[in-house]
Amino acid sequence: MPLTNVRPTAELQALDAAHHMHPFTDQSSLAKKGARIIVRGEGSWLTDSEGERILDGMSGLWCVNVGYGRERLVQAADRQMRELPYYNTFFQTTHIPAIDLAAKLAEICPGDLNHVFFAGSGSEANDTNLRMVRHYWALKGKPSKSWIISRKNGYHGSSVGSGSMGGMAGIHAQGGLPIPGIRHIDQPYWYLEGGDASPEDFGRARARQLETAIDEIGEDNVAAFIAEPIQGAGGVIIPPENYWPEIQRICDEREILLICDEVITGFGRTGHWFGHQAIGARPDIITIAKGLSSGYLPIGGSVVSDEVAEVIGSDEFNHGYTYSGHPVAAAVALENLAIIEEEKLVQRVHDDVGPYIREKWLSLVDHPLVGEATIVGLMGSIALTPHKPSRARFASEAGTVGYICREFSFGNNLIMRHVYDRMIIAPPLVITREEIDILIERVWKTLDQTHARLK
């Protein structure tokens, strides 16, 4: 297909730098360098304004699970826009896409996660969760149960509520976050924080911080614990195997709700429909977004248990968004779920491309710069280190080497992201074995270039 946009890249970059404020971006460096302008996507590939084809190792922002260029999703949006482009779900009205999507989610979510409160994004959904769990306990006659326990370096969004629950130092450094009533415990990041402890001892100790925090705050004051089954934006950090069983034990023994943030780990990313199935947790609430619509339209939500829904439903919940359950986004999400089911993409990750990439990805640990390689399904990471045996960090400011590596990767037409000195991938679930070979080849080349630069 010929490019539809023939305007010069430099002209677009100048306009972009002059008027467009980018999220999570140093705007002044952008003005000097110019953003890369992506103009098209097909399968696992992007095309930029210079006609370069780039392998998208990150599925956009971990969201384009079914890949780019899906005509069925275009048709679903087209049909729904003609039929009913907008109506709300406030004040005792509803519409067919929201009904069908909620019912479909109840079918695919395990256990008694049968009720959906829709939002426009993951951040909004987590803001819903914050208010919902507090309201839940108030309705149960325990209004003091309002504290949320979450984790350092966890990510739950960047709105005031979700950014406060998340444990990102960079977010907390700006704008007066976190809000009161949130306690952050340490993350289960054995590679960088485990020291001489075995992964098992470390996993147990980190999980037990939840118990300690509950004791300190008082069980009567804690509403919920929120965590990603596998930390994504924090660097694809896969916890020691005993971590989640221990967390689940504590949640079972204490009177608190468990919220699993499945915004990244949902919809097949880990080789299961949801990440909590991969780690054996039983949440009361899950947060969904991203892969729900494969990012074709913005939509998110909170899927809650029968019990939580019953309590919340006993009173009017004074909360909602204009775009809660937006009909076009819901229609696209439904079609997206149909594609995931019909093409058996979850099984594909579990049985086919997941094991295929796993073997190759884990062998990256043979590279002199790589201290750890780890992957679950189609979310993986490698830790860059100057000294493998001690799992040392680089002496330069953490993240510089990761940034250099990311820049080489971009130059090699592979989108791989860095979190400090950790490199991460999360390609579309439709990536083929041939494309995985290309991805791995480009990662090796990128690591060699980074290594050569450091000498």
Number of residues that bind ligand PLP (CB under 6 A): 16
Mind spelling out the 3-state secondary structure of 405-454?
A: HHHHHHHCCEECEEECCEEEECCCCCCCHHHHHHHHHHHHHHHHHHHHHH
> Length of the chain, please?
455
Q: Determine, following the binding rule CB under 6 A, whether residue 123 of this chain makes contact with ligand PLP.
A: yes
Q: How many CB atoms lie within 10 A of CB 8?
A: 11
Residue whose pair of structure tokens reads 């969004």 in the numeric block = 157
CB-based closest residue to ligand PLP: 122
Which one, of 85, 89, 3, lies nearest residue 50 by Cα? 3
Site for ligand PLP in 20-49 (CB under 6 A): none
Least spacing, CB of residue 187 vs ligand PLP, in Å = 13
Q: What is the Cα 242 distance to its own chain's centre?
A: 22
Query: Is residue 213 a contact partner of residue 226, using CB atoms and an 8 Å limit?
Result: no
Work out which of 56, 127, 246, 261 binds ligand PLP, going by CB under 6 A: 261
Binding mask 413-432 for ligand PLP (x = CB under 6 A): --------------------
Q: Determine, following the binding rule CB under 6 A, whether residue 146 of this chain makes contact with ligand PLP.
A: no
Q: Determine, following the binding rule CB under 6 A, whether residue 295 of this chain makes contact with ligand PLP.
A: no
Which residue number, 154 or 402, has a Cβ lying nearer to ligand PLP? 154
Beta strands in 317-403 (DSSP E): 370-376, 379-384
Least spacing, CB of residue 23 vs ligand PLP, in Å = 9
Work out which of 233, 278, 286, 308 binds ligand PLP, going by CB under 6 A: 233
Q: Determine, following the binding rule CB under 6 A, whether residue 127 of this chain makes contact with ligand PLP.
A: no
Stretch that binds ligand PLP, among 14-22, 226-234, 410-418, 423-431 (CB under 6 A): 226-234
Judging by beta carbons within 10 Å of its beta carbon (0-12, 13-18, 19+), is residue 176 exposed, middle or buried?
exposed
Beta strands in 169-253 (DSSP E): 182-185, 222-227
Q: Determine, following the binding rule CB under 6 A, whether residue 384 of this chain makes contact with ligand PLP.
A: no
Least spacing, CB of residue 126 vs ligand PLP, in Å = 6
Which residue number, 225 or 408, has a Cβ lying nearer to ligand PLP? 225
Which residue number, 228 or 372, has a Cβ lying nearer to ligand PLP? 228
Element (H, E) at 47: strand 45-48
Least spacing, CB of residue 100 vs ligand PLP, in Å = 22
For residue 401 the two structure tokens come to: 């080497």
Q: Output 141-145 pairs: Cβ under 8 A, ≥24 positions apart.
A: 142/220, 144/220, 144/221, 145/220, 145/221, 145/222, 145/223, 145/255, 145/256
For residue 231 the two structure tokens come to: 């930390």
CA–CA gap between residue 57 and residue 54 (Å, rounded): 9
Which residue number, 146 or 231, has a Cβ lying nearer to ligand PLP? 231
CA–CA gap between residue 229 and residue 449 (Å, rounded): 33
Least spacing, CB of residue 162 vs ligand PLP, in Å = 6
Which residue number, 60 or 371, has a Cβ lying nearer to ligand PLP? 60
Work out which of 59, 121, 128, 294 binds ligand PLP, going by CB under 6 A: 121
Which one, of 345, 423, 440, lies nearest residue 43 by Cα? 345
Least spacing, CB of residue 384 vs ligand PLP, in Å = 22
Stretch that binds ligand PLP, among 154-162, 167-175, 322-330, 439-447 (CB under 6 A): 154-162
Site for ligand PLP in 342-381 (CB under 6 A): none
Q: Determine, following the binding rule CB under 6 A, whether residue 324 of this chain makes contact with ligand PLP.
A: no
Amino acid at 425: I
Which residue number, 194 or 298, has a Cβ lying nearer to ligand PLP? 298
Please give the residue ranges that form the binding site for ligand PLP (CB under 6 A). 61, 121-123, 126, 155-157, 228, 232-233, 261, 263-264, 289, 300
